[in-house]
Amino acid sequence: MEKTWNNKAWFLVLPVLLLVAFSAVIPLMTVVNYSVQDTFGNNQFFWAGTDWFDDILHSDRFWQALQRNLLFSFIILALEIPLGIFIALNMPRKGIGVSVCLVLMALPLLIPWNVVGTIWQVFGRVDIGLLGRTLAILGVDYNYVRDPIDAWITVIVMDVWHWTSLVVLLCYAGLVSIPDAYYQAAKIDGASRFSVFRYIQLPKMKRVLLIAVLLRFMDSFMIYTEPFVVTGGGPGNSTTFLSIDLVKMAVGQFDLGPAAAMSIVYFLIILLLSWVFYTVMTSRDAEN
């Protein structure tokens, strides 16, 4: 069959193309540009090839930050996904409770990231914070400024507080889409509470859970603002994640070349891991 070419169609795509070009492609390309050159003052550029990439991939600093990032994302997923499912299962299905719960759940999501950081920064302070002071009075030795473990706990609890709602809302959407007939049939079949979860609710939530895991993984892997505001990456480097390290390098030390190289590596890692997650989680479908 002869294909009809209609070149006018390009005009319709053009606005989006321009938008994407200015918002994504061109900035990304400037980063690529920086990553292969050495920059001096007066806009002098010298070709550096893959030197900066070599530097990054052989620096302990990068690998340590990457490890911290992976550990953080793992803990976040392990906490937020089960907790989100648990809360969603226990949310009311009808009546006034639904809107109350939904609003309460949505609130943390509406707070700007740096405000969340500030809230927890103050909340956890040993001298004036509600949490920090209470713990101190109770005799718990808690100080996120001094102790790396305390800093991690604070950052993790903060993220759970901030983002579990997203998982809850997604799971809840999946749950309410299950027709009543399924629950009725399960009752008729004499299914236990666990069987209902295992064979009805979980399979129906699978798709939204996939989205939840992907979003939470990407977001937690790119986390910057909240730990930056609370701990500034400290104590020492204990909460310095890749993004914080990147900003230190680019803005703090003005090492544009290595920073650009690191950005690209960082971007590729997220892309790769997201792809792996997605493939693994959807491959079960294809088995059949």
Q: Does 41 bind other proteins (CB under 8 A)?
A: no
Q: Does 188 bind other proteins (CB under 8 A)?
A: yes
Nearer to other proteins, 33 or 184 (CB): 184
Nearer to other proteins, 43 or 288 (CB): 288
Nearer to other proteins, 32 or 89 (CB): 89
Sign of the CA dihedral running 135, 141, 142, 145: positive
Distance (Å, rounded) from C-alpha 15 to C-alpha 82?
Answer: 42
Contact 123, 132 (CB under 8 A): yes
Interacting residue with other proteins among 191, 214, 247, 270 (CB under 8 A): 191
Interacting residue with other proteins among 200, 214, 222, 247 (CB under 8 A): 200
Nearer to other proteins, 27 or 97 (CB): 97
Distance (Å, rounded) from C-alpha 216 to C-alpha 123?
Answer: 24
Q: Does 176 bind other proteins (CB under 8 A)?
A: no
Interacting residue with other proteins among 182, 197, 224, 278 (CB under 8 A): 182
Q: Does 177 bind other proteins (CB under 8 A)?
A: no
Q: Does 93 bind other proteins (CB under 8 A)?
A: no
Cα 7 to Cα 1, 12, 21, 154: the distances in Å are 19, 10, 20, 56
Q: Does 179 bind other proteins (CB under 8 A)?
A: yes
38 three-class SS? strand
Q: Does 181 bind other proteins (CB under 8 A)?
A: yes
Q: For the chain, first and last CA: distance in Å?
A: 35
Distance (Å, rounded) from C-alpha 150 to C-alpha 239?
Answer: 10
The residue range among 68-76, 162-170, 198-206, 247-255 that interacts with other proteins, by the rule CB under 8 A, is 198-206
Cα 141 to Cα 144, 156, 230: the distances in Å are 10, 18, 18
The residue range among 41-49, 182-190, 255-263, 273-281 that interacts with other proteins, by the rule CB under 8 A, is 182-190
